[in-house]
Amino acid sequence: MPSPTEGHCQEFTVLSHNIQVGIGSRRSRHLVLHGWKYLLPHRHSLGNLERIGMALREADIVGLNEADAGSYRSQYVNQAAYLANKAGFPFWAQSRTRDWGELAQHSNGLLSRWPIVAVHRRVLPGWMHGRGLLEATIDLAGHPLSVVVTHLALSRHGRFRQVEALAEYLVGRQATVVMGDLNCGARSPELRLLLRLTGLRQAEPPLATFPSWAPRFSFDHILCSPDLEFLDWQRSTEPLSDHLAVLARLRWCPAATRPSGKGGTDVPQ
């Protein structure tokens, strides 16, 4: 990414992908027949990760959901670290959301081509422990950007509780990108509530990402604060997990000024 110059806006690409711990489901029957792969290692996982790593190379910042942090089921491979290495990302961070010790370690991950200067991890409310957010402050050529990766609950009641917690954490933010598998559609009440409470914006039009082999539901999202704008918005076409990846090209708004309030930072002019 070029250094910012007066009169020009910085552009960067962000990608969000639920990688399904490398299972690689590509048919509806795989969700049943391959269910054991959520708990046991299998010989195709590294090959699936190789293909995912190739797809991640087009992005500058990547958010990962359902990346195993290095347990028996992943053959003790930390999948975020593995993908960072394969896709050429020098910086990465991770947050374990459901740690079952040797058996399984569910996590969110973040990969970046620019330095990660701070990392915050928060637990989100829910009847079952295992939902949270990972926030990293990334130094984009001297301009801080906050990137939040999260994965919301399957139940609507749980998502509403988590949206309220997210909104309290993110309200008034600028220079912020939020992405992940939110398990709800672009027009859902819970996502509309999140946008209304935080002022975040979503890309248009909605892109269906689940299931990857016959997409019907727009579960995977990239949101940004008002001082950022979308230049491009697309989904992947190859089913590398049960979700398709989404990718957005963003830039600082030409009229962006020094923000105030929680999370405020200088942004390029």
Q: Topology of 11-252 in CATH?
A: Deoxyribonuclease I; Chain A (3.60.10)
Top-confidence residue, 2 or 97: 97
Confirm if 243 and 208 have CB atoms less than 8 A apart.
no
Neighbours of 140 (CB within 10 A): 21
**Entry pTM:** 0.87
* Helix runs in the chain, H state only: 30-33, 45-56, 79-87, 156-170, 189-198
Top-confidence residue, 247 or 26: 247
| Section 233-242 average pLDDT | 93
Give residue 97's pLDDT band: very low, low, confident or very high (50, 70, 90): confident
Radius of gyration of the chain (CA): 18
| Predicted pLDDT at 38 | 56
Q: What is the pLDDT of residues 211-223, one digit of tens each?
A: 999 999 999 999 9
| Predicted pLDDT at 159 | 96
Domain boundaries, the chain: 11-252
Q: How far apart are the C-alpha atoms of 236 and 121, rounded to whole Å? A: 28
The pLDDT of residue 120 is above 60: yes
Top-confidence residue, 30 or 24: 24
| Section 74-97 average pLDDT | 94
**Strand 61-65 versus strand 11-18 pairing type:** parallel
Q: What is the pLDDT of residues 163-220, one digit of tens each?
A: 999 999 999 899 999 999 999 999 999 999 999 999 999 999 999 999 999 999 999 9
